[in-house]
Amino acid sequence: MNSFIQIRRDLHQIPELGFQEFKTQQYILDYLSKLPQDKLEIMRWETGLLVRVRGSHPKKTIGYRSDMDGLPILEQTGYAFSSIHEGNMHACGHDFHMSIALGILTELVTCQPPENHIVFIFQPAEEGPGGAYPMMQSKEFQKQAFDEIYALHVQPEAPTGYVRMKPGIFFAHTAEIHIDLMGKGGHAAYPHLTKDMIVASAALVQQIQTVISRNINPLESGVVTFGFLHSGTANNIIAQGAKLKGTARALSVETMQVIKKRVSEICQGIAVMYDCEVQCEFRSEYYGVYNDAILTEKLLKYFKEENIPAEICEPTLAGEDFGYMIQNIPGCMFWLGVQSPFGLHHEKFCPDEAAIPKTIHFMSKFLSKRTN
């Protein structure tokens, strides 16, 4: 078995949530300790790492980013190497991302020494609360002075090894929505003496669904989804409070601003209509991923020269905090096909491991020869 497929399986067994990636960090450190140390500079930041591979004739510093964290999902894949951290799972492919990054790094250190400095960024907390922005503020990150930066994300819908990318906006601007409603509970037989927060929260969800359909230009893209609603304690008790959690996503800053403004205003209206208190917060906001047009064109040209199936695709409303890194550093993120019958964030997500050695080969060659 390819050693990096085994590394993926090892990492798959120890998924850890954002800023809790202690075992994951140590696993990577242990692996790196076996490589020639004279070509490496290893820096820790929180539960993440920056690993510099020294170039032979450096004229620039190139970044390659891999995220590290898992998700709070109970795995149901049936793998022999399933998660040993019950309730946590690598359901978004970050185990793939890390094993591929380690494979590329190994190739550059042992077989294909790069002309330029290549810095591998093992970033924690991509799934939340967001590790890219605070990592970028660290002295470890800022001392690198990146000239350009690259990343990939597995795509279960695409054939294994197939590459998709897009210049300009690629991944969406995103924000978590947290809403708390507080009214007055009481006996189910006396609703006139209460302020029912199940009724209020139901009305709130329905009203917010009009934000996209009636406030956003139909030619623009956006979505508001609520995945969590909790209210009440018993069948004959009118609920005093309710809590909702959701997500807002848009392909432009302007559209995101409209969504946030209208959601906040609807919350204020619900407070008046149902004589209750409503608190609305937007958290863990991620900036959209804008791929640099020139670097995307060069990467696409390289893929075609190497006979790697690649194409320009449509943008996605998925979010990625790599958008913060690419906001000030020219770079490109691309989809990597892994052909899974179950999608990202699914309890049975099972990407095709054959993508790992293929990607290590073509990305190590690209980075080793990247000069202009």
Q: Which residues have a catalytic role annotated?
A: 67, 127
Give the C-alpha separation, 134 to 331, whole Å. Answer: 19
Per the DSSP assignment, residues forming a β-bridge with 50 are: 43, 121
Q: In what order do the strands lie in the sheet with 222-231?
A: 222-231, 241-250, 173-182, 277-286
DSSP string computed for 119-159: EEEEE--TTTT-SHHHHHTSHHHHTT--SEEEEEEEETTSP
DSSP 77: S
| DSSP reduced 3-state for 9 | helix
Please work out, in degrees rounded to the nearest 5, the angle formed at the alpha carbon of residue 166 by the alpha carbons of 258 and 67: 80
| Buried b / exposed e along 53-65 (16+ C-beta atoms within 10 A) | bbbeeeebbbbbb
**Tokens read off for 215:** 């406030």
β-pairing, 173-182 vs 237-238, is unpaired
Give the C-alpha separation, 266 to 88, whole Å. Answer: 35
Residues 6+ apart with CB under 8 A from 29: 42, 49
Give the C-alpha separation, 204 to 134, whole Å. Answer: 33
Give the C-alpha separation, 349 to 93, whole Å. Answer: 9
